[in-house]
Structures are given as C-alpha cells and as structure tokens.
Amino acid sequence: MDSGVNNAHKLLAPALPNDRMKSAISVPDTTDHSDHGTGMAGLMLYGDLTDITYRHGGPIIIEQDLASVKIVENGHTTDPDFYGAVIEDAIYQAQAMGASIQCMAVTDGTSYDGKSTSSSASLDESIYHNGKCDRLVLVSAGNIEPPEVDATNYLESCKANAVQSPAQAWNALTVGAYTEKTIVTDESYKALAAPGNLSPMSRSSWSWRNGCNKPEIVMEGGNIAYHPVFQTTTHPDLSLITTCQDLAESLEQFHATSAATALATRLAAKIKTATPALSMLSVRGMMVHSAKWTPEMIRIGNIKDIIPLCGYGVPDEETALFSNEKYATFIFENELIPYWEKDGSNTYNQLHFYDLPWPTEVLEQMGEENVKIRITLSYYVKPSPGYAGRSNKYRYPSATLHFDLKSASESMEEFLCRRNKSEGEKKTDNDTNRWTIKQQRREQGTVQSDWIECTAAELASCGQIIVYPGQGWWKERKLANVDNVIKYSLIVSIETTKTEIYDAVETAISNRIGVQIMQEV
C-alpha cells in the first residue's frame, strides 16, 4: 500500500500483473510517479539487491507474488480526516487480491504521544476484521530526515523524534530501522552508526508517556554519513539497492524505515510460505519471537531505553522459519472468552492452562546446563468506538491478554492460586525478576514477548503456562452486544547451549498435548 508501482520493470513484471494494480484514492493511474512504491516492491520481492549483486552463482528463488494499492500520490493530498477511510479501502482491496500480508510505509507526518488517531484506529479496526484476525499489516515507524540528525550523538535524535501516525496502531507490526552498513569507500565520509546499532533515520517511542511498545522489530534501513562540508547525508555505500521507478536507471539506492518495513514484509511472507497453516497472529508472533538485540543495542543501556528504540530487536530468519536440534518451538492457536456476567455485572471468565508436553527427564539429566525459555503472545483488539477511548490505553482495547509461567519453586496449586483464587488459598508472589523484559513493560502491546535464562534442572519444573484476560471496554458493555472472543497465538521455545533437545520435545508432543479451560473468578 504505497504510491503505486511501475510494473513494467523487468524484475517486477512477472510478480505483479496489471490486474493486481489498484488505487484507493481518486487517482485512477496505478503506476508509481512518486519513486517510492517501486523501490518497496523490489525489496519485498528480492531483498537488498546489494546482496544479490555480490553473490556468485546459484538461482534466486521467488516464492511470493505482489499486489499494489495506491494510497498516496505527489500532488494529490488526502484530507487527514479521510485518511483512515483510505487505509480501510486499501486493506480491503489488497486482501481481495489475495494479499493477506500487507506493507504500509506511508505515515501522515504527525506524532501524538502514542495516542490513537482516526487513521490508527481505522488500521486497528481493519486488521481486527470483525474478529477474523486474518490480516497482517506491517507499518513503518517513520523517518528522521538526514539534516535533522545530531551528528555528535544521533541516538538523541532518535529519542526526540517520535513514531508517526498511524504506526501507533495496536494491531499493526511497527518496523524501525537498524544497520550493518558502515563501510564508505570515500574516506571523507564517516558512518554515524556502528554495525548492528539503530539507524540514525529511525524514529522511536522513547518520548511516549502512554501507548504500546513501538517499534516491535527493526530491520536493515541503511546508515547516515557525516561529511565536514555536507554534514549529515545519505550515501550509496550506506544504502540498500532496489528497483527504480525510472526504467532508464533500473536500480536505485533506498533507505530508512521504508526499506526496513519492506524487508520485514518479505520475511513475513517467507514464514507464511514455509508453514502455510500458520495464522496471521502466529506469523506476527514469530517475527517478534525470533528477534534478538545485537551487542550494540545491548550497549544502549537498560531495557526501558532499548525497547522504545529497537523493540525486541532484529528477527533471525533461520529461527523464524525452522527449529533445530538445540531449539524447539511450540505454537498454540486458540481463542478465549474473556468475560461473563455474574451477579448483575461483568467479570473475568476464562483462563487457559497449558500443561506443556515437556521433556522433563531430559532437562533434569542436563542439570546445570544453561537454557532459555521464551514465550510470545500475539492477539488483536477491537478498538474503542468512542473518542474517549483513544486517549486511555485501558479503555481503547476491547480486551487484553496476558501470560504467566509456573516457577520452579512453587507447586501447581500455588501457581494456579496466583491467577485464580477459586483454586485455593495457597498463594505465592510472582517472581518478576526472573524475566528479561518483565511483566509491566511487555504487556504494553498486543504482541508480548519475554524470556528466562536458567538451568535445565530449574526449567524441568516450569512446563505450565496460563493465558488470562485483563481490562478492556467489552467488560463495561452488555456482552450480548460485543464479540467477547479473543483469538490468540501462544509461542513457546526452548533453547539449549549444548544438549540436543528437539527429538525429546517431538517425542513428548506425540505422547501428550492439551489445554484446560478454567473459569476465573
């Protein structure tokens, strides 16, 4: 969803026929005249052509097709009040053409401290899609123009420039930019960002006082160069290469969060292609679940600084697509009824209890070996229909979900009592320090991910997870008038350092798997 595409380009024509070229604005011409959508299309189809240029031999396998919906045009301005309607129409047209994974690297140039706008609410509503939750939209966080970058400490520029609307949408997967591009052949230019660090062009939610964790992930978006005369500027050596709208040029440099969002969309398509049965909630979840911070990101400081700037980090393609001998992943897709009416008012209803098919004996035998368990929860919300809900994160979502994991030191009864008082009186305190992100931070979003590093012996006793509901405006309404069902994807992985564990997990799964639905009171 961009400025259209010049699908006469030889690299794009096979994947984008004329009948998959549409417009959601009052411009019937679907061709790219803004020199943006064509570059996005090339990155989504091939990735950074820099990599292909220097690759020696071997075919390039393309497993996805493209569709294009024009939502912006140079010289054509859409009234901000109607931008939400354009988004809704574009998403509808894209899915009608078979594109359930959609990319939007167009922001309206404004920041609202994370509060919802008409365009971000429309985006949330379209992704929720009447409870079907069958769409994935990846949105760019927005760019910092090179002259605005502080060359002495560019991270301060990233902190000061907030994510732009509609990228604050709860259901969208917002993409920021990082970079590995640091080598400039002309020695009069110096790259600002070190390899593996946040791109100087990437906006953040660092200044937000309210709202979700945005961006959720970062992808390659190029670097900024500093020159004694030209100051801060883009440079071909520090940019990506992609298809050009001008056929006489054929290829062009491309950068910033637009490039990063295109690459993220390509990865989402790869995940869906590798495992077609996955829901869009699971595809979105795997993007975050596979993400890691680079060493340079970790050097930024504590979690409260890293998350607003870099999200959960850079998705690892191999991890997102495949398990291996030392890395096993469970994916559960389910739906939960969050509320029910009791004594004349609405209260919490179901929680889901997962007794995982856990390789307990193997983990116990591994003893003191270091292991990691990571949990990711992905779901969509229906945005509040009223304007008042836009400024309150507790009134905007229809319902929220959370997860918890049994600790090694508590009994099953104590764990259940911690989230469900009807189970008994033996209650333990939640050990929040064992988590990396920690509960309060991770729950600021509809895709929540966190992990614990411990010994295998400790993990052997942690094979139970609860998914339970939280606040939402459905709870304040007559339940007969709302959906009152949340679809979700729960992703759980075990990663070992030495012992091969995949076969043990596979055997445990074949022997037993199940979820219990409990009533929470």
pLDDT of residue 57 exceeding 90, the answer is: no
What is the model's pLDDT at position 51? Answer: 77
pLDDT of residue 64 exceeding 80, the answer is: yes
Q: Write out the residue limits of the CATH 3.40.50.200 domain(s) in the chain.
A: 13-321
In this predicted model, what pLDDT tens digit does every residue of 113-162 receive, in sequence order? 888 988 999 999 999 999 999 999 999 999 999 999 999 999 999 999 99
| DSSP state at residue 431 | -
pLDDT of residue 226 exceeding 90, the answer is: yes
What is the model's pLDDT at position 494? Answer: 94
Instruction: Record the tokens describing residue 345, joined without a space.
Output: 């008012």
- The dihedral region occupied by 422, where left means phi > 0, alpha psi between -120 and 50, and beta the remainder, is alpha
- The percentage of the chain sitting over the pLDDT mark of 70, rounded to a whole number, equals 93
Where is average pLDDT lowest: 204-208, 388-392, 441-445?
Answer: 388-392
Where is average pLDDT lowest: 44-53, 275-284, 285-294, 419-428?
Answer: 419-428
Computed over every residue of the chain, the mean pLDDT equals: 91
Q: Cβ atoms within 10 A of the Cβ of 395, count?
A: 15
Among 131, 291, 314, which residue's Cα sits nearest to residue 220?
314
**Please, where are the H alpha helices in 36-176?**
37-46, 49-53, 83-96, 118-128, 154-160
Rounded CA gap, 166 and 180, in Å?
Answer: 27
- At 391, the pLDDT band (50, 70, 90 cuts) reads low
pLDDT of residue 514 exceeding 90, the answer is: no
Q: Which of the pair, 359 or 66, is modelled with greater confidence?
A: 66
pLDDT of residue 79 exceeding 70, the answer is: yes
In this predicted model, what pLDDT tens digit does every residue of 82-114 receive, in sequence order? 889 999 999 999 999 999 999 999 998 787 788
For domain 13-321, give the CATH number.
3.40.50.200
Q: Is the peptide bond before 228 cis (omega within 30 degrees of 0)?
A: no
Q: What is this structure's pTM?
A: 0.94
Rounded CA gap, 444 and 228, in Å?
Answer: 42
What is the model's pLDDT at position 521? Answer: 45
What is the model's pLDDT at position 424? Answer: 53
| DSSP state at residue 475 | G
Rounded CA gap, 276 and 475, in Å?
Answer: 34
pLDDT of residue 388 exceeding 80, the answer is: no
In this predicted model, what pLDDT tens digit does every residue of 397-430 receive, in sequence order? 999 999 999 998 888 888 888 777 555 555 566 6
